[in-house]
Amino acid sequence: MKVGLIDVDSRIPNLALMKLSAWHKAQGDKVKWHDGMYDQPDRIYASKVFKFTSDYVYFPGCEVIRGGSGYDLDTKLPNEIESQNPDYSLYGLDYAMGFTSRGCNRNCGFCIVPRKEGRWHQVADIDQFWQGQKHLMLLDGNLTSDHEHFIQTCRQLIDDKIRTYFSQGLDIRLMDDEKAKILAQVKDWGSKRIHFAWDNIADEEEIRRGIEIVTKFIKPYRIMFYILIGWDTTLEEDLYRVELLRSFGIEPYAMPYDKTDPYQSDFTRWVNVKKTFKNVPWDKYERRN
């Protein structure tokens, strides 16, 4: 069988496509990226992450299987493929990536993870997708949900001396001294920061408490906070959050809920262009919109 793969809009290497590639190659199938012009595969897998992205339009006349949250929240890889070790050669990666857990026990209205993956549950051990690479990208949506799993995972990262990037925001509301102390011992991946998130202004007290705990073991410059804007907060509340983090020496990173909204677009650009954020106050910022 000839299998074609299409990565519609992934911002990082697509794990599902790497697992599909590995599984089909193990069956003796030929796997390659679909170029849209000269290929005539027997089957195509297309993965789309974001609903706002335009779909791929050059599908040939063959079986097409679409997946990813950009298409729907129900299509999932079969268990025998989900458990497959990824084909890192598909993207030419020299690092590993994967999930040790899926789901989240919180039910934030803006987040699709609980609807897509359910409540928090363990799905793998690091050894199931790490092959001795120096670097690892962990994709867990809420690694801090389970205390014992978090400690065990960090301990393995420390013992194997893996330089790790936690790509999703850890929940600082669930941090305690034990978690923060062991997290500080995980080797970081170069200049990549440890990410937390502050989505709801009402969580300020818990956020402050978490920052106090974490910064006992981790320097503020190593921390970044995702700040969701445009969901249920005002401009004043958005500005308050980023300025409070700035006062702690922690870097904020704005995440617009609606990228088409002029205010959210401008505020995101102001916060995330660090030279501007450090040197130009918001009330002096020349907005495009």
**pLDDT tens digits along 143-160:** 999 999 999 999 999 999
Q: Is the pLDDT of residue 230 over 80?
A: yes
User: Cβ distance 267 to 229 under 8 Å?
Assistant: yes
- 132 or 192: whose pLDDT is higher? 132
| Lowest-pLDDT range of 20-24, 116-120, 223-227 | 116-120
Q: Is the pLDDT of residue 39 over 80?
A: no
Band of residue 246 on the pLDDT scale cut at 50, 70, 90: very high
pLDDT of residue 40: 86
Average pLDDT over the chain, rounded to whole? 93
Band of residue 37 on the pLDDT scale cut at 50, 70, 90: low
**For residue 232, what are its two tokens?**
């249920």
pLDDT over 90 percentage in the chain: 76
Measured in residues, the chain has a length of: 289
- 170 or 190: whose pLDDT is higher? 170
Residue range 77-85: mean pLDDT, rounded:
91
